[in-house]
């Protein structure tokens, strides 16, 4: 079947299509209905069906692959490696489930995880869903007040944490941050379960804090069966990255998510049972949930959980893992590849990477120079794919498992099966049907299985934030559109290109420009490693573009004459490629750009600083010094 037909079927014969995909997972009881969209824009996938996420990730593999690798933990922070087979993972997860149960966790309760990248974090996620509880993983190392607000939002029965994480050899004590968060939060969890790694001293609160190692001893060989839950039962909540504002708490179901991940492994990632998946994200992000923990395990693959920087002991560490564990599928982010690009390319040739079928990249636009660099270095296909915390799996991708399709540099591909993707005009709301028109990327409801059910505890916010009702017109019945808040363009072959966030569109004297277009152009200058472009209010033109660039050669930063010359050259490049209208008012040079902890450029914060406004919620920001550099530059203007 051609991919076009496959996609058409997925949206036009939605029920048949997804009923077939649902066979990829195991059900305790078959579902009554495939898709209930009677309360649009809310959708319920596979209602009446009973299943369990942990069963599909772990238990179901015992009959065929009990002794194969399931979880491979590698830490270059504490210099340890540990491998768990499916049988061992099953035992550990049951022990963790028994511990959680002993602390009072029941079906529907929330379990909040504030954990470093250690096996116990994966055990706790799987154990929670095994019991029908709902996990909420908060990125390890978040500051106390962001953690406190998430504790209040989730109202967990138990918090699972550890003494410390480690980053680049520096120990980050978690317990004091957690204690402060628990003091700030209104909700008080009954118990705090602590994994002591022996990295940092911990103070214990009598009656509340429990040592995992000690209770674990009581449950040697304990069996805790999976709690069968309705397909629509929530499995977890997770926050968006907070790039455009206050993070939103996404609520995911059980059955739809399990089916979506199983299908994505087959059609998009093409990972086969018995192989190894290496995903370099963090369990605190959606990519970590879907493609470190659940996706590979559901697919019967071993998954690598890596604690450490991409550059320690050297920038070849990921490739050494590919070689050692014969990884066939790898998933990372453009921001990480840009980091590697600053290091010796010979490291790519040092290892045997012949097992690798493809490298998938998502999270941010993949610029062409980076794509080419890694593609030449690896010699396997580089597959850009576009999605959101909200969707849990790709909206735009190349589904090579259905039909081999060429990919195009700069494009995350075509609409993934199940997603009825459209472009609409931001002002009129009308659908843009032609090629090469710019518009907002939207998905016509219902969203496919695996996507968010609602915003946790706030159905109203879910509808108001994401959805727009389109009245019946010209024979098309009333329908709902989900906004991605991204701005894109589709070429004549149906490939999409993401131009930036809708907030990031710059309006210069009536011309609408995506920040991405200008950034791509600036990046094509050989001296530039990375750049952020924002629109800044201007009395004359409405808005002007401002660029902040990081140079490949950091020593040029202090050299005024060199910077002046580079600025002039870059402006000329933009003029030549996009025209004078896109030319930034200034190109300033910095040593580092402000990003979220998941590596996304915080353009709205840069913009606010440039306009001397309050930058808003910065709880997910990585390095405050980066924003200070910009405010110093702008202030000195």
Binding to ligand ATP by residue 142, rule CB under 6 A? no
State the Cα–Cα distance between residues 547 and 403, nearest whole angstrom.
40
Q: Which residues of 188-209 are buried (b: 16+ CB within 10 A; e: fewer)?
A: ebebbbbbbbebbebeeeeeeb
Least gap, CB of 222 to ligand ATP (angstroms): 37
Q: Three-class SS of residue 516?
A: helix
Of positions 282, 364, 517, 519, contacts ligand ATP by CB under 6 A: 364
The item of ligand ATP, Mg ion, none sharing an interface with residue 328, based on CB under 5 to 8 Å by kind, is none
The whole-angstrom separation of Cα 82 and Cα 74 is: 7
Q: Are 569 and 576 in contact (CB under 8 A)?
A: no
- With CB under 5 to 8 Å by kind, the binding choice for 501 among Mg ion, ligand ATP, none is ligand ATP
Q: How far is the CB of 391 from Mg ion (least distance, A)?
A: 10
Q: Which is nearer to ligand ATP, 321 or 383 (CB)?
A: 383
The answer to the question of residue 594 lying near ligand ATP (CB under 6 A) is no
Residue 635 burial (CB count, 10 A): 10
Q: Rule CB under 6 A: is residue 251 a binding residue for ligand ATP?
A: no
Question: Pick from 74, 120, 139: which is nearest to 308 by CA?
Answer: 74
Nearer residue to ligand ATP within complex by CB, 247 or 439: 247
Name the residues that contact Mg ion, by CB under 5 A. 240
Binding status of residue 149 toward ligand ATP by CB under 6 A: no
**With contact defined as beta carbons under 8 Å apart, do 339 and 310 qualify?**
yes
Q: Which of 49, 295, 296, 365 binds ligand ATP (CB under 6 A)?
A: 365
Site string for ligand ATP, 403-442 (x = CB under 6 A): ---------x------------------------------
Residue 600 interacting partner from ligand ATP, Mg ion, none (CB closer than 5 to 8 Å by kind): ligand ATP
* Tokens 């040739």 -> residue: 349
Instruction: Mark the segment that binds ligand ATP (CB under 6 A) among 120-128, 207-215, 237-245, 416-424.
Output: 237-245
Say which entry of Mg ion, ligand ATP, none residue 267 contacts (CB below 5 to 8 A, set by partner kind): none
Residues 253-282 that bind ligand ATP (CB under 6 A): none
Cβ atoms of residues 415 and 391 within 8 Å: no
Please give the size of the binding site for ligand ATP, defined by CB under 6 A.
Answer: 25
**384 binding ligand ATP? (CB under 6 A):** yes
Residues in the chain, overall count: 637
Please choose, from the candidates 300, 290, 306, 270, the residue with its C-alpha nearest in 3D space to the C-alpha of residue 399: 270
Of ligand ATP, Mg ion, none, which one does residue 275 interact with (CB within 5 to 8 Å by kind)? none
Residue 232 in the binding site for ligand ATP (CB under 6 A): no
3-state SS of 310-326 is CCCCCCCHHHHHHHHHC
Q: Choose between 351 and 485: whose C-beta lies nearer to Mg ion.
A: 485
Nearer to Mg ion, 483 or 631 (CB): 483
386 lies in the site for ligand ATP, by CB under 6 A:
yes
Using DSSP, how many helices (H) and how many strands (E) does the chain show?
20, 33
Distance between CA 38 and CA 215 in Å, rounded? 46
User: What is the C-alpha separation between 613 and 328, in angstroms, rounded?
Assistant: 47
Q: Does 389 bind ligand ATP (CB under 6 A)?
A: yes
* Bridge partners, residue 137, by sequence: 113
* Shortest spacing between CB 239 and Mg ion, in angstroms: 10
Shortest spacing between CB 146 and ligand ATP, in angstroms:
12
Report the residue number, 5 or 409, with the smaller CB distance to ligand ATP: 409
x/- binding map, residues 547-586, to ligand ATP, per CB under 6 A? ----------------------------------------
Binding residue for ligand ATP, selected from 105, 137, 330, 498, defined by CB under 6 A = 498
CB-CB contact of 302 with 70 (8 Å): yes
Going through 91-244 in order, the beta strands assigned E by DSSP cover: 110-115, 134-139, 158-162, 164-167, 170-173, 191-195, 209-211, 229-230, 236-239
- Identify what 296 binds: ligand ATP, Mg ion, none; CB under 5 to 8 Å per kind: none
Looking up tokens 């003091």 gives 183
- Helix extents (H) in 391-495: 459-466
Helix, strand, or coil here: 536?
strand
Measured from the Cβ of residue 526, the count of other Cβ atoms closer than 10 Å reads 9
For residues 167 and 308, give the distance between their C-alpha atoms in angstroms, rounded to a whole number. Answer: 6
Q: What gap in Å lies between CA 335 and CA 364, rounded to an integer?
A: 8
φ and ψ of 210, to 5 deg: -125, 135
Take residue 334 and report the two structure tokens written for it.
């453009």
Beta carbon nearer to ligand ATP, 90 or 603: 603
Nearer to ligand ATP, 94 or 244 (CB): 244
146 contacts ligand ATP (rule: CB under 6 A): no
- By CB under 6 A, is residue 244 in contact with ligand ATP? yes
Chosen residue from 59, 92, 486, 517 binding ligand ATP by CB under 6 A: 486
Q: Does 245 bind ligand ATP (CB under 6 A)?
A: yes
DSSP 214: H
- Residue number with CB closer to ligand ATP (9 or 461): 461
Task: Name the region of 76 (left: φ>0; alpha: ψ -120 to 50; beta: rest).
Answer: alpha
- Residues making contact with ligand ATP (CB under 6 A): 240-245, 247-248, 362-365, 384-389, 412, 484, 486, 498, 501, 598, 600
């Amino acid at each position: 079947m051609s991919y076009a037909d496959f996609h058409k079927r997925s949206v036009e014969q939605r029920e048949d299509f997804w009923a077939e995909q649902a066979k990829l997972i195991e059900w305790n009881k078959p579902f009554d209905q495939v898709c209930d969209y009677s309360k649009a824009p809310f959708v319920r996938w596979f209602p009446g069906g009973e299943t369990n996420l942990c069963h599909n990730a772990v238990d179901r593999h015992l009959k065929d692959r009990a002794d194969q690798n399931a979880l491979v933990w590698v830490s270059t922070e504490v210099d340890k490696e540990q491998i768990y087979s499916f049988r061992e993972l099953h035992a550990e997860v049951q022990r963790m489930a028994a511990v959680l149960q002993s602390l009072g966790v029941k079906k529907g309760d929330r379990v909040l995880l504030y954990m470093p990248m250690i096996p116990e974090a994966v055990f706790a996620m799987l154990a929670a869903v095994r019991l029908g509880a709902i996990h909420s993983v908060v990125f390890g190392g978040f500051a106390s007040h962001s953690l406190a607000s998430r504790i209040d939002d989730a109202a967990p029965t138990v918090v699972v944490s550890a003494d410390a994480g480690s980053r680049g050899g520096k120990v980050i004590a978690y317990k004091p941050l957690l204690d402060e968060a628990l003091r700030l939060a209104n909700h008080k969890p009954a118990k705090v379960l602590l994994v002591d790694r022996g990295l940092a001293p911990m103070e214990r609160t009598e009656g509340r804090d429990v040592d995992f190692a000690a209770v674990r001893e009581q449950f040697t060989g304990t069996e805790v069966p999976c709690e069968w839950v309705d397909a629509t039962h929530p499995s977890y909540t997770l926050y968006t990255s907070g790039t455009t504002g206050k993070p939103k708490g996404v609520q995911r179901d059980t059955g739809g998510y399990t089916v979506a991940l199983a299908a994505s492994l087959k059609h998009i990632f093409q990972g086969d049972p018995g192989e190894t998946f290496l995903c370099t994200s963090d369990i605190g992000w959606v990519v970590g949930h879907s493609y470190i923990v659940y996706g590979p395990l559901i697919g019967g693959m071993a998954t690598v959980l890596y604690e450490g920087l991409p550059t320690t002991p050297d920038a070849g560490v990921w490739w050494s893992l590919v070689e050692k564990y014969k990884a066939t599928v790898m998933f990372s982010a453009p921001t990480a590849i840009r980091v590697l690009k600053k290091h010796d390319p010979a490291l790519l040739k040092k290892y045997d990477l012949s097992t690798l079928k493809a490298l998938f990249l998502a999270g941010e636009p993949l610029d062409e120079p980076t794509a080419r660099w890694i593609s030449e270095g690896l010699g396997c296909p580089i597959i850009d794919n576009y999605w959101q915390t909200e969707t849990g799996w790709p909206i735009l991708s190349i589904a090579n498992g259905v039909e081999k399709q060429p990919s195009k540099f700069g494009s995350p591909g075509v609409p993934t099966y199940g997603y009825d993707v459209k472009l609409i005009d931001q002002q009129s709301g009308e659908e843009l049907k032609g090629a090469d028109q710019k518009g907002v990327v939207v998905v016509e409801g219902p969203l496919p299985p695996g996507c968010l059910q609602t915003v946790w505890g706030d159905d109203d916010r879910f509808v108001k934030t994401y959805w727009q009702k389109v009245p019946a017109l010209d024979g098309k019945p009333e329908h709902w559109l989900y906004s991605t808040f991204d701005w894109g363009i589709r070429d004549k072959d149906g490939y999409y290109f993401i131009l930036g966030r809708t907030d990031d569109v710059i309006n210069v004297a009536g011309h609408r420009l995506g920040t991405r277009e200008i950034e791509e152009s600036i990046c094509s200058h050989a001296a530039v490693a990375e750049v952020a472009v924002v629109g800044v209010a201007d009395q004359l033109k409405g808005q002007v573009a401002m660029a902040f660039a990081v140079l490949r050669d950091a020593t040029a930063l202090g050299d005024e004459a060199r910077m002046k010359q580079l600025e002039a050259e870059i402006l000329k490049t933009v003029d030549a490629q996009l025209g004078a209208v896109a030319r930034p008012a200034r190109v300033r040079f910095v040593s580092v750009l402000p990003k979220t902890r998941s590596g996304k450029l915080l353009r709205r914060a840069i913009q606010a600083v440039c306009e001397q406004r309050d930058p808003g919620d910065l709880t997910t920001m990585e390095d405050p010094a980066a924003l200070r550099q910009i405010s110093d530059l702008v202030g000195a203007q």
